[in-house]
A = this chain, B = another copy of it.
Amino acid sequence: MAVGSGNLPTMFPVQGFQLAAGCAGIKVAGRKDLVVMALAEGSQIATVFTRNAFCAAPVQVAKRHLSASKNAKAIRYLLTNTGNANAGTGEQGVADAQQSCAALATIAGIDATQVLPFSTGVIGEPLPLGVLLSGLPSTFATLSESGWSDAAEGILTTDTRPKGASRQIQMNGETITITGIAKGAGMIRPDMATMLAYVASDACCSPEYLQQVLNRAVNKSFNRITVDGDTSTNDSLVLVATGQSGIMLSHDDDGECFADAVEQVCIELAQAIVRDGEGATKFVTVEVASGASVEECLEVAYTVADSPLVKTALFASDPNWGRILAAIGRAGVTDLDVNQIKVWLDDVLIAEQGGRAATYSERAGQQVMDKEELTIRVDLARGGVSETVWTTDLSYDYIRINAEYRT
């Protein structure tokens, strides 16, 4: 199941960024499972990786190569395989990830440290390195700036649909393009280790600025979604600036405009992951307003969004406001005055003064709950901070998918 349309939007090519997808047969024959991306010379790169202490071998290797590239040769290729996460594979896994980078480097005539590896798929199985390497030459041969759709399909695992977003912004008569793809369906299931996301732009900027743009975008997008509260061992996100547009960006109005566009692309990709969430029948926005701090807004938002009781009520389309109040109440916010809190389903006020709103009717609540997309809005009446996260319901299909997977 999934919520909303499954079609990719128009994917504008990014000058200086090429993509190709091939079928190596890593887990299933004939399925796209190998994706190569090439960054033009002079490209800058920014990255964010999982904070899980058990991070996968490709994440460890990618971090080493990034560190090496800072004082030497720049990153020029991204190599992604599906079908195997190369996680929980110890030293052999690290060696395998390095080998895959070395093989691509040989074909491309660069150093192995100029390649970043990414893997997604089952955990704890050795990477079938030979199979992976056998698919490299033919995939490499098809690199193209119009390869976005193929790549969007090539990085999928249990996802039911490809996920992409693309924007063009105008600056002094010139066009800057920002295009991205992502994969992930459980947020975050460690087996089919989500999520991976790649965003590229032809903007020109310093690596420090690019990393700041990415950090800001992540905090409003990929760090604001939850399907089941789990965090993967392989999460990786890359933002590339090829510089080919010739438009130099920094901390000014144009730079702000670019950062906004990157954020929009990341939000669209992050929301696409939630819409394709395992067993999802609803796309739910949780807005917490009038908080005293970002932290407490997020505490409340995630406690509501991750509550199994709220999620099963959403699945049942049951306007069970007591569960929302109870989740807010246990979020751990210090000195919370529950009598000041208001809660809405879309525009329907459901709770105030510690209980059901006098104006509330079950029929009005039911009308909102019957929708496929809805907003739970909480006003804490404690300050001026607002935060938004996105989530899904918890359905029989979530149990089926996660209980039957691997067997």
B90 touches A355 (CB 8 A): yes
Interface string of A52-75 (1 = CB under 8 A from B): 111100000000000000000000
Flag whether A45 is at the interface (Cβ < 8 A): no
State whether B54 touches A329 (Cβ < 8 A): yes
Cβ of A321 within 8 Å of any chain B Cβ, yes or no, is yes
Q: Which of B54, B230, B322, B396 contacts A190 (CB 8 A)?
A: B322
Docked CA distance A351–B190 (Å): 15
Interface on chain A toward B: helix, strand, loop, or mixed SS? loop
Chain B residue with minimal CB distance to A230?
A: B309
- Name A90's contact: one of B190, B230, B315, B354 (CB within 8 Å): B354
What B residues does A25 contact at CB under 8 A? none
**Contact yes or no, A309 B231, CB < 8 A:** no
- Interface size on A (CB < 8 Å)? 61
Please determine whether B53 and A309 come into contact, CB atoms closer than 8 angstroms: no
Contacts of A333 in B (CB 8 A): 53
If the complex has contacts A308-B230, A330-B51, are A88 and B356 also in contact, measured as CB distance less than 8 A?
yes
Among residues of B, the one whose C-beta sits closest to the C-beta of A316 is B403
User: Oligomeric state, in number of copies?
Assistant: 2
Contact of A231 among B190, B321, B326 (CB under 8 A): B326
Query: Does A139 interact with chain B (Cβ within 8 Å)?
Result: no
Given A320-B406, A395-B399, A398-B308, A230:B353 Cβ within 8 A = no
Query: Is A93 close to B, CB under 8 A?
Result: yes
By a CB distance below 8 angstroms, the chain B residues around A88 are 321-322, 325, 351, 354-356
Q: In the complex, A123 Cα to B306 Cα: how many Å?
A: 20
A220 interface residue per 8 A CB criterion: no
A394 within 8 A of B: yes
Shortest CB distance A349–B (Å): 14
Bound-complex Cα distance A321 to B406 (A): 12
> Which residue of the partner chain B has the closest CB to A233?
B326
Give the contacting residue for A407; candidates B123, B318, B322, B329; CB below 8 A.
B318
Residues in chain B near residue A312, CB distance under 8 A:
398-399, 402-403
Contact of A399 among B307, B318, B399 (CB under 8 A): B399
Return chain B residues, CB-CB under 8 Å to A233.
322, 325-326, 329
Q: Provide the A105-140 mask, 1 if CB < 8 A to any CB of B, else 0.
A: 000000000000000001110000000000000000
